[in-house]
Chain A
């Protein structure tokens, strides 16, 4: 069955960096657009990044543009999120998901990122 497993969440100080990973299995990863979505405490779901199946197209929400980088390694069936210049408002549970025309078919369980001094 389809599995997406995020890892790498941690407590990090403001201005710090973190790299999240998402290990995929049970489907043809290299055929799938992928996305990162987050949910801050007490808030709703917040889509902020997408990457094409080959990795040659990426897009970001204004809130993370220039600070976060989405990437993938299709040989390892893995999705990544490099997060730099982290802010308190980046504190959230981060989910990876397959995406198709704005619709998320499969989700991981999420990994918690806490930005605090």
Chain B
């Protein structure tokens, strides 16, 4: 199963908004609404920021939002803050192998 496609890196200045895309196929991202986004700071446990395409877990800032169009899911972070600098991964359910991850996107806050 090929990984979902994410940009290797994105950057933005404090206060700006950025969007990270996650492109799959009709067998994964496009086939249902089980897409999640994770924030991963080095040395720490990954943290789910968005689940089921657009839902935020309790405690996650409303600056984080998720959406999907066709085979592409997106994570938008508004009002960028220094602590948002991290690696971000998407994952999707896929019937054959259960899970497929994106390759990860390094977010740099300038």
* Chain A positions near chain B (C-beta within 8 angstroms): 35, 44-47, 50, 59, 61, 95, 99, 101-105, 107-110
Min CB–CB distance A15 → chain B (angstroms) = 27
User: What's the Cα separation between A46 and B97 when bound, in Å?
Assistant: 12
Q: Would you mind naming 22 contact pairs between A and B with Cβ atoms under 8 Å apart? A: A44-B103, A45-B40, A45-B91, A45-B101, A45-B104, A46-B101, A47-B101, A59-B97, A95-B46, A99-B98, A101-B34, A101-B93, A102-B28, A102-B92, A102-B93, A103-B36, A103-B48, A103-B51, A103-B93, A104-B36, A104-B38, A107-B47
| Interface flags, B92-110, vs A, CB<8A=1, else 0 | 1110011111111000000
- Asked whether any CB of chain A lies closer than 8 Å to the CB of B64, the reply is no
A35 touches B99 (CB 8 A): yes
CA distance A99 to B40 in the complex (A): 17
- Is B98's CB under 8 angstroms from A104's CB? no
How many contacting A-B pairs (Cβ < 8 A)? 66
Q: How far is the CA of A44 from the CA of B44 in the complex (A)?
A: 14
User: Which residues of the other chain, A, contact B92 by a CB distance below 8 angstroms?
Assistant: 102
Chain B's closest residue to A61 (CB) is B97
A102 to B97: give the CA distance in the assembly, Å.
9
Interface assignment of B52: CB less than 8 Å from any CB of chain A: yes
Q: Which of B44, B100, B103 contacts A102 (CB 8 A)?
A: B100
Instruction: Name the residue in A107, A108, A109 with the highest tally of chain B Cβ atoms < 10 Å from its Cβ.
Output: A107
Q: How far is the CB of B59 from chain A (nearest CB, A)?
A: 11
CB <8 Å contact, A109 and B97: no
Task: Give A78 to B87 CA distance when docked, in angstroms.
Answer: 29
